């Protein structure tokens, strides 16, 4: 497998774009990435597009209608919340395998104000929790994960609330974030309860957005980078859930990430202590907490203590092992198909000291990871290095 690098990135501020179409949003992000890379669409040899809600509508081809049709192969990807990051991996694999030297990945979604409420499995009784335990809707599923952690390890309501406070504080430094407002611990804990222990401020907003990345082989990097620092994809992992002897009325949101994390660290030749920053899938505050342990940022049962000691907080704010310095999904928003590529863009910007992250740069960042899960199931982890 060949080395693969991220030559250019582009991202739109997440928010509401009712006047735009999905291809228009994706096309804008693609053009930003092409400009950042210093190339044109004529140089791109393969295109992978991630979109969920119009997954049967050939969104990738429609984006090329906007920015230029050159006859290249197009792959359209739909993989739950891991849709965008799976598209990125398709572009990565095409170069790593030696098929192409320049590939583009775009993640795009237009959700407006539709909620993140859908359960998994549709009406399949093997997967639906409706009428059995709580609800199969996402706030309930991730609420259950938080309650289970509380029961097992004594984690407190305040620990989840502190995650929301931290992420909203981080978002004040990110112009790409949908919401940039600070919240106090009291604000979070006293907000409307959505699915215990997640209150309103512990749940990610939806919305619209797009992000793009240009990936190249090492030979092309030498030709095109012009001496600019560019991030290497040190590991690209995609997993699904193995069969486990468990109660399907209580979905397992951890095994997926643990397996992917182990593989990613092995492929990159790194460990959790080597990671300068993590962008993880915090669809709810409870998800972020359990993923601290799933990604090895702290030991099992230690997430509460990790939070209390400043874990996950930007070093400029007195923290350590920073998580979601972008503001995370809790502030940035979660337009499903765009999220995975956006997380990778954030990590790349810190590693290359890009001006787009200048207000929130993690100092001396040499390695970072981007993580996304989709229940059903899919998990991607990308470790990037400089």
Residue 211 burial by CB count (10 A; 0-12/13-18/19+): exposed, middle or buried?
buried
- Quote the CATH superfamily of domain 4-115+204-385: Thiolase/Chalcone synthase (3.40.47.10)
Tens of pLDDT, residues 346-372: 999 999 999 999 999 999 999 999 999
Residue 46 predicted with pLDDT over 70: yes
Q: What is the mean pLDDT of the chain?
A: 93
Catalytic residues: 81
> Quick one: pLDDT at residue 119?
47
Residue 109 token pair: 């979604």
Q: Specify the higher pLDDT residue, 118 or 137.
A: 137
Tens of pLDDT, residues 283-318: 999 999 999 999 999 999 999 999 999 999 999 999
Residue 121 predicted with pLDDT over 50: no
Domain spans of the chain?
4-115+204-385
pTM score, two decimals? 0.94
Q: Specify the higher pLDDT residue, 119 or 42.
A: 42
Residue 184 predicted with pLDDT over 60: yes
> Quick one: pLDDT at residue 115?
64
> Quick one: pLDDT at residue 220?
97
Angle at CA of residue 377, ends 375 and 381, nearest 5°: 95
Tens of pLDDT, residues 125-177: 555 555 555 577 888 889 989 999 999 999 999 999 999 999 999 999 999 99
| CA atoms of 177 and 85, how far apart (whole Å) | 19
Residue 120 predicted with pLDDT over 50: no
Tens of pLDDT, residues 191-223: 999 999 999 999 999 899 999 999 999 999 999
Residue 316 burial by CB count (10 A; 0-12/13-18/19+): exposed, middle or buried?
middle
SS3 assignment for the chain: CCCEEEEEEEECCCECCCCCCHHHHHHHHHHHHHHHHCCCHHHCCEEEEECCCCCCCCHHHHHHHHHCCCCCCEEEECECECHHHHHHHHHHHHHHCCCCCEEEEEEEEECCCCCCCCCCCCCCCCCCCCCCCCCCCHHHHHHHHHHHHHHHHCCCHHHHHHHHHHHHHHHCCCCCCCCCCCCCHHHHHHCCEEECCEEHHHECCCCEEEEEEEEEEHHHHHHHCCCCCCEEEEEEEEECCCCCCCCCCCCCCCHHHHHHHHHHHHHHCCCHHHCCEEECCCCEHHHHHHHHHHCCCCCCCCHHHHHHCCECCCHHHCCECCECCCCHHHHHCCCHHHHHHHHHHHHHHHHCCCHHHCCCCCCCCCEEEEEEEECCCEEEEEEEEC
Residue 331 token pair: 């502030």
> Quick one: pLDDT at residue 140?
86
Kindly state the percentage of the chain with pLDDT values over 90. Answer: 87
> Quick one: pLDDT at residue 174?
98
Residue 77 predicted with pLDDT over 60: yes
Cβ count within 10 A of residue 45: 18
Please, which pLDDT band fits residue 51 given cuts at 50, 70 and 90? Answer: very high
Segment 89-100 shows an average pLDDT of 98
> Quick one: pLDDT at residue 116?
56
């Amino acid at each position: 497998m060949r080395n693969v690098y991220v030559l250019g990135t582009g991202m739109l501020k997440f928010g509401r774009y009712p006047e735009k179409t999905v291809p228009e949003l994706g096309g804008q992000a693609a053009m930003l990435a092409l400009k950042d890379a210093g190339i044109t669409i004529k140089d791109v040899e393969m295109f992978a597009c991630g979109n969920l809600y119009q997954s049967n509508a050939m969104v990738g081809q429609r984006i090329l209608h906007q920015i230029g049709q050159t006859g290249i192969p197009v792959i359209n990807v739909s993989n739950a919340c891991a849709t965008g990051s799976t598209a990125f991996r398709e572009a990565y694999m095409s170069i790593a395998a030696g098929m192409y030297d320049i590939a583009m990945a775009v993640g795009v979604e237009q959700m407006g104000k539709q909620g993140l409420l859908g359960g998994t499995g549709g009406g399949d009784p093997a997967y639906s929790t409706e009428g059995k335990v709580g609800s199969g809707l996402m706030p309930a599923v991730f609420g259950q994960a938080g309650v289970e952690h509380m029961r097992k390890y004594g984690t407190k309501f305040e620990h989840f609330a502190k995650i929301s406070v931290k992420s909203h504080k981080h978002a004040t430094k990110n112009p790409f974030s949908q919401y940039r407002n600070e919240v106090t611990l009291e604000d979070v804990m006293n907000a409307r309860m959505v699915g215990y222990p997640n209150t309103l401020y512990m749940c990610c907003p939806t919305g619209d957005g797009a992000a793009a990345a240009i990936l190249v082989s090492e030979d092309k990097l030498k030709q095109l980078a012009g001496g600019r620092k560019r991030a290497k994809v040190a590991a690209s992992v995609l997993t699904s859930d193995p069969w486990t002897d468990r109660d399907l009325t209580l979905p397992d949101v951890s095994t997926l990430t643990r397996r992917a994390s182990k593989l990613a660290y092995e492929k990159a030749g790194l460990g959790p202590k080597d990671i300068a920053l993590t962008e993880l899938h915090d669809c709810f505050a409870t998800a972020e907490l359990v993923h601290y342990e799933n990604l090895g940022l702290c030991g099992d049962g230690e997430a509460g203590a990790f939070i209390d000691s400043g874990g996950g907080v930007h070093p400029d704010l007195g923290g350590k092992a920073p998580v979601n310095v972008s503001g995370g999904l809790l502030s940035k928003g979660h337009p499903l198909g765009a999220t995975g590529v956006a997380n990778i863009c954030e990590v790349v910007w810190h590693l290359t000291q890009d001006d787009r992250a200048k207000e929130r740069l993690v100092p001396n960042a040499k390695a970072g990871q981007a993580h996304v899960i989709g229940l059903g199931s899919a998990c991607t982890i990308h470790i990037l290095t400089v």
